[in-house]
């Protein structure tokens, strides 16, 4: 099977305009359609029982942004999805994340556990020292409310880094 490039998908996918005419889809429209498909797939109650499931969902949700986005998967005691929230938006190389807001949302949705995630538009999934400090702050704050932090995933296009797999949790 030959491998398709992103540009070859552009010529295969079409969108309908307001007059009913079909036009070639832009890369932004393709990414938006992919995010919509993941939203339908990531319905409340889906069980995150493997790192591969988490990675594939987060790659589609966060992989195409040109700015940093910090998101949280809020889970119940069985690691089923309660909610996916893109909580903070930043610039090309940083996002201000407020632990208080993450804790408030975890309590509001009655989460038992969370998976933290953010993207690196640079294409390098290596966690920065600021990422490590923030993860510890969030984990500590959430732990005080009996909410477990299962992982922090950094998404950089099709590449990801898991804090848990690296022993950083």
CATH code of the domain occupying 42-162: 3.40.140.10
Task: Give the containing element (helix H, strand E) for 101.
Answer: helix 99-108
Between residues 31 and 10, which one has the greater pLDDT? 31
Q: List, for residues 11-58, the tens digit of each pLDDT value.
A: 567 677 778 777 777 767 666 766 666 555 566 667 887 888 898 889
Cα gap 54→64, rounded to integer Å: 16
Distance CA 100, CA 106 (A): 10
Q: Are 101 and 71 in contact (CB under 8 A)?
A: no
**SS3 for 79?**
coil
More confident residue, 49 or 103: 103
Compute the 3-state secondary structure of the chain and give helix, strand, coil in percent, each to the nearest 5: 35, 25, 40
Predicted local distance difference test score (pLDDT) of residue 142: 98
* pLDDT single digits (tens) 66-102: 899 999 999 999 999 999 999 999 888 888 999 999 9
pLDDT for position 118: 97
Q: Which pTM was predicted?
A: 0.74
User: Which residues make up the CATH 3.40.140.10 domain(s) of the chain?
Assistant: 42-162
């Amino acid at each position: 099977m030959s491998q398709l490039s992103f540009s070859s998908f552009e010529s295969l996918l079409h969108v309908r305009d307001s007059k009913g005419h079909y036009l070639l889809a832009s890369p932004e429209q393709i990414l938006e359609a992919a995010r919509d498909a993941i939203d339908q797939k990531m319905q409340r109650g889906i069980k995150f029982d493997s790192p591969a499931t988490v990675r594939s969902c987060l790659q589609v949700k966060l992989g195409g942004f040109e700015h940093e986005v910090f998101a949280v998967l809020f889970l119940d005691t069985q690691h089923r999805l309660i909610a996916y929230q893109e909580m903070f938006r930043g610039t090309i190389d940083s996002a201000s994340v407020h632990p208080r807001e993450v804790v408030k949302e975890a309590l509001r949705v009655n989460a038992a556990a969370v998976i933290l995630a953010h993207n690196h538009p640079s294409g390098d999934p290596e966690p920065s020292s600021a990422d490590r400090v923030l993860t510890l702050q969030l984990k500590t704050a959430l732990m005080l409310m009996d909410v477990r932090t299962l992982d922090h995933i950094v998404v950089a296009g099709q590449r990801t880094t898991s804090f848990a797999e690296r022993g950083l949790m």
